[in-house]
């Protein structure tokens, strides 16, 4: 959903109290009972139902119909308002401008502080490109305290902020982290363009060398980006790279570390060959060029993002990648994408298909296209 900040300054303190009560109830309820919201908010003069109606009218909460009880769920709009209200009280965000970027799982906006200094906020929105209902993915959430994509978005933002802090403190070319709350990050505005939009550079060989050095430098510090490509790299006017987007970053102690490292290297090699017609026979190897010098992965864990939270985030990201429904043929669909996921072991080679598309057509029960992530009716097969 798109951020609509018009009502942030006009909501009353009681309305924010009801919104916060809905968030607190969401920790243990997918649909928060109205009675529980009333109990948590504890308004002196009552009127919770009236405030819930106003919030629902503005899409900050959503009333769930056909439920066994009267209840509401917090929407991304309401979660945005709670995060921005907290950041506003700290002075990190004063005004909100235009949207300057959008991704599969995040939105980017220009903001400013009270002095008019421009900044950037990144709003994580996990689940937007996957199933819209949490219940469809309940199989991997059964051991967690909550089943909300809002919780997973907060985890992703916490992880990214922790990595950004550590990398910036050690001189890596990353945005300057300023603040974060819930699923929203605040960072400085960088005068640069995405590498994916750059079609000509003065010296492709020099830029290629800088990027490979950056991959190796990260690995020697105990970290692997995991998604090191032209969409997560910015290029300044001086052709200096700036690294962005860190929710998928892992430690070099990760069981699939070598695979992630090699994938990052191959992404850059393939991009330079296609875009700049530049190909080099010199490229780093994980086993040869990644002697550990620092342990930034340990610093990240000490900064507040624990290994337990990392495991939870990986499990969800894996299941989002798979995009299968819970049915008797789930194992058939999982084999297509599970080998790409760090949260699951690779399937036996005997189960892997010759081609993903032909293998998906075997799954005639759930009709899930595991390659493109959308439901479809297979020809000649009933649902």
Q: Which one of 4, 227, 239, 289 is the catalytic residue?
A: 227
Token reading at 132? 């819209």
**Three-state secondary structure of 89-136:** HHCCCCEEEEEEEECCCEEEEEEECCCCCEEEEEEECCCCCCCCCHHH
Cα of 343 vs its chain's centroid, Å? 16
- In this structure, how many other beta carbons lie within 10 angstroms of the beta carbon of residue 198? 17
Give the span between the Cα atoms of 136 and 337, in whole angstroms.
18
Residue 317, sorted as left (phi over 0), alpha (psi -120 to 50) or beta, turns out to be: alpha
Comparing C-alpha atoms, which of 176, 191, 172 is closest to residue 249? 172
Give the span between the Cα atoms of 151 and 313, in whole angstroms.
10
Residue 227 annotated to the active site:
yes
Q: Tell me which residue has tokens 């929203």.
A: 184
Comparing C-alpha atoms, which of 309, 310, 242, 230 is closest to residue 266? 230
Instruction: Give me the active site residues, please.
Output: 227
């Amino acid at each position: 959903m798109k951020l609509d900040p018009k009502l942030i300054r006009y909501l009353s303190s009681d309305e924010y109290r009801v919104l916060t009560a809905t968030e607190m109830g969401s920790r243990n309820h997918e649909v928060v009972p109205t009675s529980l919201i009333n109990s948590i908010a504890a308004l002196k003069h009552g009127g919770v139902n009236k405030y819930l109606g106003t919030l629902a009218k503005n899409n900050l909460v959503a009333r769930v119909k056909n439920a066994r009880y009267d209840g509401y769920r917090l929407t991304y709009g309401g979660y945005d308002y709670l995060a921005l209200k907290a950041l506003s009280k700290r002075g990190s965000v004063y005004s909100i401008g235009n949207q300057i970027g959008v991704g599969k799982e995040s939105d980017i906006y220009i903001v400013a502080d009270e002095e008019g200094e421009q900044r950037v906020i990144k709003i994580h929105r996990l689940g937007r490109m996957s199933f819209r209902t949490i219940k469809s993915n309940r199989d991997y959430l059964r051991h967690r305290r909550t089943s909300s994509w809002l919780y997973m978005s907060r985890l992703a933002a916490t992880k990214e902020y922790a990595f950004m802090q550590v990398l910036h403190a050690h001189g890596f070319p990353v945005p300057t982290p300023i603040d974060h709350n819930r699923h929203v990050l605040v960072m400085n505005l960088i005068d640069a363009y995405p590498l994916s939009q750059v079609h000509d550079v003065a010296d492709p060989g020099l830029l290629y060398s800088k990027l490979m050095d950056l991959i190796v430098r990260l690995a020697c510090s105990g970290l692997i980006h995991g998604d090191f490509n032209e969409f997560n790299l910015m290029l300044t006017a001086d052709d200096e790279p700036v690294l962005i987007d860190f929710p998928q970053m892992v430690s070099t102690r990760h069981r699939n570390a070598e695979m992630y490292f090699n994938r990052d290297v191959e992404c850059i090699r393939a991009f330079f060959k296609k875009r700049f017609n530049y190909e080099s026979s010199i490229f780093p190897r994980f086993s040869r060029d990644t002697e550990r010098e620092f342990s930034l992965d340990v610093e990240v864990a000490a900064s507040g993002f624990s290994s337990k939270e990392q495991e939870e985030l990986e499990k969800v990201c894996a299941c989002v990648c798979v995009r299968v429904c819970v049915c008797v043929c789930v194992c058939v669909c999982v084999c297509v994408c599970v080998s790409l996921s760090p949260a699951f072991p690779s399937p036996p080679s005997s189960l892997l298909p010759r081609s993903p598309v032909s293998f998906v057509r075997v799954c005639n029960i759930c009709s899930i296209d595991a390659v493109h992530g959308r439901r479809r009716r297979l020809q000649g097969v009933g649902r």
